[in-house]
Amino acid sequence: MLESQTETDISRIAREKKFHDQRFADDSKRSNKVGRFYRVAQSIKKEYEQLLIDKCKGLTIIEYGCGTGSYAFFLAKSHANKVIGIDISPVAIEVAKIQIINEKVGENLSFEVMNAEELTFDYSSVDLICGSGILHHLDLEKAIKSIANVLQPEGKAIFIEPLGHNIFINLFRTLTPSIRSEDEHPLIESDLKLIKQYFKNVKIKYFYLSSLLAILIVDFPGFKLVLSILESLDQFLFKLPFFRNQAWQVLIQISDPLKK
């Protein structure tokens, strides 16, 4: 049974690697289909970025599933002591390494091909781990346990992740299989509970429910005003557990890892 499970993991990781190599070589198909959605999803990115700015100075940081270096460059230029971007895709890492040379970024930034479920950093050696849209591609328990092990006792991690409860969002996912890997699994309530088993402090903020309606008017005047009003309505709705589960995305802050 153990051997079978290992073979299953190897196959899953190989599929993820192949998918992301292809995506980072040409992401135009995905961008065309989800662009309108991500024009709505700006507030969570701004809050994520502000948290990183507030916490990164002088720290050793891992960008988890960095892709082509999405936030690693931003962090390296924001006075982090050391930033290491990791990704399972060699294509993404090669692109990021070339960008280091082109942008003449300092020696505090580097990139490595690495399986995010089995981090190879020293035990309790990292101050902050961050990532956007990565945990739902992984064996979550393996990933969270690995994160907890490499973080300092007072270390923190910050993630943006999609949720998997909303029937309409899940319908869109079903209708667009080519832009997602077959093994990805947007987080559900049991996944959030699992994270809490490995960290003393877990803070989850929910985003985008009624505000998804703004997708219909992204190219029209008044889009930003309507989006702002709907986002305010969402934060009122998210006071109730049912509506929280229907959100599209969450911002997860975790700290004080429990070493297991």
Using the structure block, give the residue that is written with the tokens 């070493």: 259
Domain that holds residue 143: 2-177+185-257
Domain CATH code at residue 58:
3.40.50.150
- β 151-162/199-207 pair status: unpaired
Positive or negative CA dihedral for 150, 153, 158, 163? positive
pLDDT digit string, tens, across residues 173-225: 898 887 777 888 999 999 999 999 999 999 999 999 999 999 999 999 999 99
Contacts of 108 (CB under 8 A, 6+ apart): 76, 80, 81, 82, 83
CB 207 within 8 Å of CB 40:
no
The pLDDT value recorded for residue 26 is 61
Contacts of 188 (CB under 8 A, 6+ apart): 163, 164, 165
The count of domains in the chain is 1
Q: Is the pTM of this model over 0.85?
A: yes
CB 158 within 8 Å of CB 51:
yes
CA distances from 116 to 16, 50, 149, 214, 251 (A): 12, 24, 13, 34, 19
As a whole number, the mean pLDDT across the chain is 89
pLDDT at 84 over 90: yes
Structural tokens at position 15: 């599929």
pLDDT digit string, tens, across residues 32-69: 557 788 889 999 999 999 999 998 999 999 999 888 76
CB 138 within 8 Å of CB 117:
yes
Distance between CA atoms of residues 72 and 109, nearest Å: 7
Structural tokens at position 114: 């690495």
